[in-house]
Amino acid sequence: MNSRKHWTSSGNRKAAGAGLGVLVVVAATIVAGTVPVDDVSAAPNPYMGEDATHTITIDSDGSYQVHIDQTMELARNYKFTFGGMVHDGFRLPDTESVLPPYLRAQYSDPTITMDGQAAEVDVEHEVHAVDISAEDTFTKGEHEGTVDYRVTGAAVGSVQAKTGGVAVYFRSLVPGDVVVKSAESIVAVECEDWPPEGEPCGRKSGDDWLIGPDELAETDAVRIILDTDEAGLSEPRIDSTK
């Protein structure tokens, strides 16, 4: 009898344990159900997609205007920065120096919009890098931004290019496609992974030149060779220090 009672008691405990387990699962399900889906669906990464296209328009003096169309999609509310940071110098192998100096570019006139509204632009210089950006907290969904700025002093006469002419250097502020437009004829475009080594990249499309993000992934800079005389260039600033 005692043995039977002991067995029955053990069985009751097992049944109670199983019932408790069900309650725990149900409770967990109820608790999880109270958490908004958009707070957990993308954890820990809130980004569902980012895309950017740079359009650079080069003037006859070698200066150029950059316009970026940038989009991003968030899975939940999160802080995002439109724009980014870029190095202001381009190494110059054309000078035949043992240690190539830098062609120092100037970045100016920045403007940024976020979802169609003008944003306060933050411009910071750190050593030889410039950050042009605007930050805000965005709601779940897709958002659009534009970034505009001007670059001067990033062009120099090119003796390395077989055709001569002028070399204009460019780095993208954020990853993305690049469309090059120019007042002068574009002879060639090269992507440099380590100056002076460069490989032809992109393709000509009408009067423009198109470069995909995959080609720019390992690129130090884009070198655009223009069929024009360097006499018309704005004065370059050469820096022989690192």
Domain ranges (residues) in the chain: 2-34, 47-239
Nearest to 216, CA basis, from 176, 156, 180: 176
**Number of neighbours of residue 8 by Cβ within 10 angstroms:** 10
Nearest to 72, CA basis, from 158, 136, 163: 136
Nearest to 170, CA basis, from 77, 78, 62, 76: 62
pLDDT, residue 146, reads 96
Q: Do the strands 78-87 and 89-91 form a parallel or antiparallel pair, or are they unpaired? A: unpaired
Residue type, 112: I
Banded pLDDT at 162 (limits 50, 70, 90): low
pLDDT, residue 97, reads 56
Per-residue pLDDT tens for 175-217? 999 999 999 999 999 998 776 678 899 999 999 999 999 888 8
Per-residue pLDDT tens for 47-77? 778 899 999 999 999 999 999 999 998 888 8
Angle at 99 between CA 94 and CA 101, to 5 degrees: 60
Whether pLDDT at 163 is above 70: no
Mean pLDDT of all residues in 230-235: 76
Residue 196 preceded by cis peptide, ω within 30: yes
| Look-up of token digits 């001067």 | 152
pLDDT, residue 78, reads 86
Mean pLDDT of all residues in 124-143: 90
Nearest to 176, CA basis, from 53, 16, 92, 60: 53
Mean pLDDT of all residues in 212-233: 85
Whether 97 contacts 239, CB under 8 Å? no
Three-state DSSP class for 28? helix
Q: Spell out a b/e string for 106-127, using b for 16 or more CB atoms within 10 Å of the CB, else e.
A: ebeebebbbeeeebebeeeeee
Q: What's the CA gap between 169 and 161, in Å, rounded?
A: 13
Top-level class of domain 47-239? mainly beta
pLDDT, residue 31, reads 37
The pTM for the full model equals: 0.76
- Percent share of the chain, pLDDT over 90: 45
Residue type, 241: T
Mean pLDDT of all residues in 89-106: 75
